[in-house]
């Protein structure tokens, strides 16, 4: 049986209280949301925080709302909640696709949207999906609130721009007439992605006016394939251009080899899944289910 080292525990009663606790306990404190990354690391003693600040009581962060033409997902929304949300399913199929393949129902019942982003795991699905959507993140710290574009949120593996006493409140995505999809290869249901791609297409008059391509697990800087996005804009959403976009995405990512696969395979997957996600998004734009 794996047991963690000693730690202190405090339960936050509100956002302000959580920030106060973070300030009080200092840099060796960690927020615990769903705990599905942190607690296993603590049991393995790869993480030994001095204090856990439990934010599971912060009901104000558990809502999914439509607010001023934007979808606002509270940081404490569980994966299962995001998956079950009708408004998310209607406007953001990329999120529904991703959630269907994130871990398993047990993890999805507990794990949170905010926890997934703040963990900044290089294989996180939602990071790629929200980056493709160009979401913005609202955070609050001792100095007040700020808004951070998700593409500027990640500094590297397990590292974000959040300050020591700063708390993610919600994720906001503009509701637009775009089409989207997520495609992932995993070794087994519930495993982390070998690679995955999120595609978001905004079309006007048969031309791509904006493209979002998110990639996870393949070392794409800030989870996006920017060159491929730029390439797609201004042209038709057809197979030929998708293939080229995939090729560009495969080249701009920087995968590393591990037991999920060698570099050439991951690069290939980044390209292949980019194409498949784009294809599915384009089909959805035509009103076809994909």
Partner 1 sequence: MTTTGERPVGFGRMTRKEDARFVRGHGTYVDDVRLPGMLYGAVLRSPLAHARIVSVDTSAAEAHPKVRAVITGETLAGLGLAWMPTLSYDTQAVLATDKVRFQGQEVAFVVAEDRYAARDALELIDVEYDPLPPVVDARRALDPGAPVIRDDKEGRTDNHVFDWEAGDRAATDEVFARADVVVGQDMLYPRVHPAPLETCGTVADMDAVTGKLTVWSTTQAPHAHRTLYAMVAGLPEHKIRVISPDIGGGFGNKVGIYPGYVCAVVGSIVTGKPVKWVEDRSENLMSTSFARDYHMPGEMAASRDGRILGVRVKVLADHGAFNSTAQPTKYPAGFFHIFTGSYDIEAAHCEVTGVYTNKAPGGVAYACSFRVTEAVYLVERMVDVLAAELGTDPAELRMRNLLRPEQFPYRNKTGWEYDSGDYPRALRLAMDLAHYEELRREQAERRERGELMGIGVSFFTEAVGAGPRKHMDILGLGMADGAELRVHPTGKAVLRISVQTQGQGHETTFAQIVAEELGIPPEDIDVVHGDTDQTPFGLGTYGSRSTPVSGAAAALVARKVRERARLVASAMLEVSPDDLEWEKGRWFVTGDPDQGRTMAEIALAAHSTLELPEGVEGHLDASCVYNPPNLTFPFGAYICVADVDAGTGQVKVRRFVAVDDCGTRINPMIVEGQVHGGLADGLGMALMQVIAFDEDGNCLGGSFMDYLLPTAVECPSWELGETVTPSPHHPIGAKGVGESATVGSPAAVVNAVVDALRPLGVRHVDMPLTPAAVWRAARGQPFRSDLAIT
> Contact residues for partner 1 (CB under 8 A)?
1-3, 5-6, 44-45, 104, 185, 187-192, 194, 257-262, 265, 268-269, 272-273, 276
* Residue 183 near residue 277, CB atoms below 8 Å: yes
CB of 59 to partner 1, least distance (A): 31
Between 1 and 86, CB nearer to partner 1: 1
3-state secondary structure of 193: strand
Strand partners for 52:
9, 30
Distance CA(165)–CA(264), nearest Å, equals: 40
Distance CA(290)–CA(283), nearest Å, equals: 6
Helix or strand run (H / E) with residue 145: strand 144-149
Between 27 and 190, CB nearer to partner 1: 190
Distance CA(249)–CA(227), nearest Å, equals: 7
Closest to 112 in 3D by CA, of 52, 58, 36, 166: 36
CB of 83 to partner 1, least distance (A): 16
Strand partners for 159:
156
CB of 239 to partner 1, least distance (A): 13
* Residue 133 near residue 212, CB atoms below 8 Å: yes
CB of 237 to partner 1, least distance (A): 19
CB of 9 to partner 1, least distance (A): 14
* Residue 31 near residue 139, CB atoms below 8 Å: no
Between 86 and 189, CB nearer to partner 1: 189
Cα distances (angstroms) measured from residue 75 to each of 62, 143, 217 = 7, 19, 22
CB of 47 to partner 1, least distance (A): 14
Between 115 and 261, CB nearer to partner 1: 261
């Amino acid at each position: 049986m794996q047991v963690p080292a000693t730690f202190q525990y405090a339960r936050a009663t509100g956002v302000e209280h959580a920030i106060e606790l973070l300030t009080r306990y200092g840099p060796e404190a960690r927020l615990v949301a769903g705990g599905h990354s942190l607690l296993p690391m603590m049991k393995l003693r790869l993480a030994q925080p001095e204090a856990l600040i439990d934010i599971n009581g912060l009901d104000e962060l558990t809502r999914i709302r439509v607010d001023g033409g934007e979808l606002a997902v509270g940081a404490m929304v569980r994966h299962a909640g995001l998956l079950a949300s009708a408004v998310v399913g209607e406007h953001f199929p990329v999120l529904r696709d991703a959630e269907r393949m994130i871990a398993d129902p047990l993890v999805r019942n507990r794990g949170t949207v905010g926890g997934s982003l703040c963990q900044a795991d290089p294989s996180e699905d939602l990071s790629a999906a929200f980056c493709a959507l160009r979401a913005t993140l609202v955070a609050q710290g001792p100095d007040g609130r700020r808004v951070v574009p998700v593409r500027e949120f990640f500094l590297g593996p397990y590292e974000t721009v959040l300050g020591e006493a700063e708390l993610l409140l919600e994720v906001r995505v503009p509701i637009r007439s775009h089409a989207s999809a997520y495609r992932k290869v995993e070794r087994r249901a519930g495993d982390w992605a070998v690679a995955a791609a999120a595609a978001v297409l905004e079309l006007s008059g048969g031309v791509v006016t904006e493209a979002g391509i998110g990639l996870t697990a393949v070392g794409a800087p800030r989870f996006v394939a920017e060159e491929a996005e730029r390439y797609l804009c201004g042209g038709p959403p057809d197979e030929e251009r998708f293939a080229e976009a995939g090729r560009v995405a495969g080249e701009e990512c920087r995968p590393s080899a591990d037991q999920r696969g060698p570099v050439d395979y991951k690069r290939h997957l980044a390209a292949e899944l980019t194409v498949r996600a784009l294809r599915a998004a384009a089909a959805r734009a035509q009103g076809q289910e994909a």
